[in-house]
Chain A
Amino acid sequence: MWRYVARRVLQAVPVFLGTTFLIYAMVFALPGDPIQALAGEKPLAPSVVHALRERYNLNDPLLVQYAKYLGGLFRGDLGETFDGQNVSDVLAGRWAVTAQLALTAWLFELVIGIALGVWAGLRRGRLADTLVLGGTTLVIAVPVFVLGYTAQIVLGLNLGLFPTAGTDDGWPMSYVLPGLVLGSLGLSYVARLTRTSLAENLRADYVRTARAKGLTKARVVGRHTLRNSLIPVVTYLGVDFGSLMGGAIVTEGIFNLPGIGQQVFQSIQLKEGPVVVGAVTLLVLIFLLVNLLVDLLYGLLDPRIRYD
């Protein structure tokens, strides 16, 4: 078990380095001189430019810059923006918004997705099944921003059920609509995955055994089938939590939520490299951590998995 964890962490190291380096290199390659961009139209004295370039290690080769950045990262230092703010401070306020949004979306996926999937899976080939399959396919096909605007207009403006923008009403009210929109895609996948998995497991031999034991249908499904069926769903839900954190840009934009996605998007346009790299680094860390947790959880759910 612990050897497995150790091996997984070891495997995660090159992935972490590779991903952050990739982002770092791409941000490094962003066109234009950030120092000049910072100064705007004003000409800067060469000595000032030189000092600033030294301060942000811009004169070093890419690999050296990256190495210095990593060094800072291990000390918990995400670096500074070009106008002297601490990147950690810039991101700190934003994380809470994105985390709440992602969590709301994830809860929708978990609760509604699994419920729909079970409903459809138990009625395979019947109306409920067709409805869930058709509905989820539609949701997957419609781009998230179209869904977002539709939800905003219909549920927010016309029906007035939920606030349509900003975070003034706090959690959960402000996050219901954006969470639903952000989670809609994952919710659909969870529902379909649950449905297929449940339908497949209902044909398994051990389900026949459970019936031969004289158990009630509720027990056959609830105890004997559901747990087996949810194993792939748990994997999906875990991996998706990472994507939700990183994929919230569009939703945050539509609902005007000041989250990490908005911040990074602006920073990319402003060529604020350190913010972009810092945010993506943290996202990748979360992603890797969640994946590891999911793998371990997988072993708890399925005793056939052995960690060696």
Chain B
Amino acid sequence: MTDRIEDPAAPEAGAAGAAEAPDAGAVVPGTTAAAAAQAGGLVSGASLWQDAWHDLRRRWLFWASAAILLVVGLMAAAPGLFTDRGKNENCDPNASKLPPGGDHLFGTDVSGCDYFAHVVHGARPTLLIGVAVTVFALAIAVVFGMLAGYYGGVLDAVIARVTDVFFGLPFVLGATVILVAFPGHGIGAMTLVLVLLGWTTMIRIMRAQVIAVRDADYVQAARLLGASDLRIMRRHILPNAIAPVIVVATLNVGNVIAGEATLDFLGVGLQYPQVSWGLQLNQAQSYFVDHPHLLIFPAVFLSATVLSFLMLGDAVRDALDPRLR
């Protein structure tokens, strides 16, 4: 009985409601929006994510960033596809800091290692940390943001204060203190530190989103029909609250990668024999005036990766928000 009543109100219906809400809001301001709303009538009925995908497919920025991320992802997953040299292999100290060209497409680094191989191998830790940190931070944000927003009261206040504590910590200083105190500086330690300092933004957005949909009619209806809190949160609130958090998470991957590189650069992040773009930039800092390729190649790869995540996030946000079309 309960199942039969609750199911019709499940995600599709809810998501479609969310897709229409911005449209309805857009009818009010001005004629531009009125026209957009009229055009929006063409696709009404499709779900929010279907709409977004429909929109995304026609954006070249989306495809460009997806292509870059695919290449970088391949580098991280299977560096062997790009270079037959292993990490820190076949280095010739007599051939250090060679300019690009000849045997070495990107030249060689300070220790005479092939810089192209180096850059390829740098993709894995960078990407791994970026994605892992975001996934963990997202999980924390979704769970605790949901609880705080849904139940409010003391729980909300406590979570809000704890969030404030971590939000107030200066990023570089905080990370440096923790990392210096930490015994190891591997990928695991970096991930932990970056999660610790990086979960606060998303939880705030999640909480605000949950509060925004918590009192919606369909949630009230589900409650009146006797759905449990867990079910309401999972089936009714989550699908309608998650979109902006996903967008921020995508942008966040880029920010985490940049932050990780900064810590590497300062010398408190990953350490040799690890290979990462940030470490390469750290080594380059003393030589880049005379050997700019040492700075340029890792910087370009790092920036392109961060840029792709930012553009991807932007594209998804624009696609999800019909008002900005």
Contact = CB atoms under 8 A, between A and B. Distances in A.
| A/B contact in complex, CB under 8 angstroms | yes
Interface of A: 11, 14-15, 18-19, 22-23, 26-27, 29-31, 137-138, 140-146, 149, 153, 157, 196, 199-200, 203-205, 207-208, 242-243, 245-247, 249-250, 253, 261, 264-265, 268-269, 276, 279-280, 283-284, 287-288
A264 B173 contact: yes
A245 to B, nearest CB: 8
25 contacts: A11-B161, A19-B169, A22-B165, A22-B166, A23-B174, A137-B307, A137-B310, A141-B303, A142-B299, A142-B306, A143-B302, A145-B281, A146-B281, A146-B302, A149-B288, A149-B295, A199-B324, A200-B324, A203-B30, A203-B33, A203-B323, A207-B30, A243-B170, A247-B172, A250-B266
Nearest to A201: B29
A207 B30 CA distance: 9
A254 B307 CA distance: 23
Q: What interface size band does chain B fall in?
A: 35 or more
Contacts of A284: 168-169
A190 B28 CA distance: 27
Contact of B176 (A144, A205, A268): A268
B229 interface: no
Given A23-B169, A142-B303, A250-B262, A30 B30 contact: no
Nearest to A196: B324
A15 B173 contact: no
B177 interface: yes
Decide if the interface of chain A is mainly helix, strand, loop or mixed.
helix
B314 A283 contact: no
B248 to A, nearest CB: 13
B261 A143 contact: yes
Interface in B226-276: 254, 258, 261-262, 265-266
A287 B262 CA distance: 22
A269 B311 contact: no
Given A149-B285, A249-B173, A268-B176, A143 B262 contact: yes
A246 B173 contact: yes
| Nearest 8 A/B pairs, CB to CB | A246-B170, A18-B165, A141-B307, A141-B306, A203-B29, A15-B164, A146-B299, A142-B303
B173 A30 contact: no
Nearest to A200: B323
A268 B281 CA distance: 22
Interface of B: 28-30, 32-33, 161-162, 164-166, 168-174, 176-178, 180-181, 183, 254, 258, 261-262, 265-266, 278, 281, 285, 288-289, 295, 299, 302-304, 306-307, 310-311, 314, 323-324
Contact of A18 (B161, B258, B261): B161
B169 A22 contact: yes
A264 B181 CA distance: 14
B81 to A, nearest CB: 25
Contact of B265 (A203, A246, A247, A250): A250
A146 B177 contact: no
A288 B290 CA distance: 44
A146 B281 CA distance: 8
Contacts of B311: 137
Contacts of A242: 168
A145 B265 contact: yes
A166 B183 CA distance: 34
B172 A246 contact: yes
Contacts of A207: 29-30
Contacts of B278: 143
Given A146-B281, A149-B288, A196-B324, A26 B178 contact: yes
Nearest to A211: B30
Contacts of B314: 137
Nearest to A133: B314
Contacts of A29: 181
Given A143-B302, A203-B32, A203-B33, A19 B178 contact: no
A162 B148 CA distance: 50
Nearest to A145: B265
